[in-house]
Amino acid sequence: MPLQKTTTSTDSAYPIDSRFFSLIEDFKTLSQSQIYYLMIGRYKAFRPETREQFESYCRRHPLWGSLDDEKENYTVFENRAKSLHLHWVDFLWLYDRLCDYRSRHIMFAFVNNWYYFDLNSLNYAREQLFNEYFDMDIIKCDKNEVFVDIGAATGNTVTKYIQTYGTNYQRIYCYEASPEHITALNEAVKKHKNISVRQKKVSDKPAPPCEASPVEAVTIDDDIQEPVTFIKMHTGGTEQQVLSGCAGQIKNNKPKLAISIHHSSEDMWRIPRIIDEICDGYKFYMRYQGKSFYPTDLTLLAIHEG
């Protein structure tokens, strides 16, 4: 597949386009092993104390893979190299589907950090004005909103929703499986109307409580009977399964979507692919509120054209 310019670029690609396409050319032509060893070499160029910071972060957040320089365990780089080499077409597809250059710069910065450990581009891409889920230039909400907060934690997101859009909504559903968070969540929303707090795990299929999960697992399609207009999800690595359990709502009602896409080396492109397979016609944007040191807190905003 030849490299192509984005649909909105002119005959001369913009600098970010050129830099992104250059990355894609590497991922296409180099072997997975070559990409992997290039990453290791660049990582080893950091000072020992900086490498220890990376390792410490990976120990606390192992979803991306393990990292132990002393034991020569570089699984996090192995996962990145595999995703970039085997799925460069998917990365290119997503870049072409992003609807503003802020999103394209964020995607470039993220991938460039994976490959080159470049920190400056992530700094430049960080969102300064809006909440990561509630970019008011993209996400419009009104009195008919039925907002579903999946992974509501202690209520920070629903509180920010109300601060951003006010209390003129129809209904809000908050899903949180952690017993440690439920008390704080109930406290955060108690003064507001029409908010349903549900201590349930959201997944791709229903399941009763068990030893592994002491709370009931549900799908959004089964658990909410009314049409929803906006779904936010941040579930620590299960977003792909949760998304499948929302497929009916997405196909039938085309809600706005705000989804964390940084919990694996494949979420960035795979989650937009899943949305596209469920219902075509969504426009995609990215917003980033993470740090420059290790790229996290990447959010996909998806708005249906209809």
Span 248-298, pLDDT tens digits: 999 999 999 999 999 998 999 999 999 999 999 999 999 998 877 778 889
Quickly tell me which residue has 């989804």 as its tokens.
Answer: 259
List the one residue out of 149, 257, 264 whose CA is nearest residue 202. 149
- pLDDT confidence of residue 4: 43
Domains of the chain in sequence order: 15-125 (no CATH), 146-304 (3.40.50.150)
- pLDDT confidence of residue 294: 78
Q: What integer best gives the mean pLDDT of the chain?
A: 92
Within the chain, strands assigned E span 146-150, 171-175, 195-198, 201-202, 217-218, 230-233, 256-260, 282-288, 298-304
Span 53-71, pLDDT tens digits: 999 988 988 888 999 999 9
Using CA atoms, how far residue 244 sits from 205, 264, 271, 278, in Å, is: 9, 17, 10, 8
**Average confidence (pLDDT) over 158-167:** 97
pLDDT tier for residue 13 given thresholds of 50, 70 and 90? low
Q: What is the pTM of this model?
A: 0.93
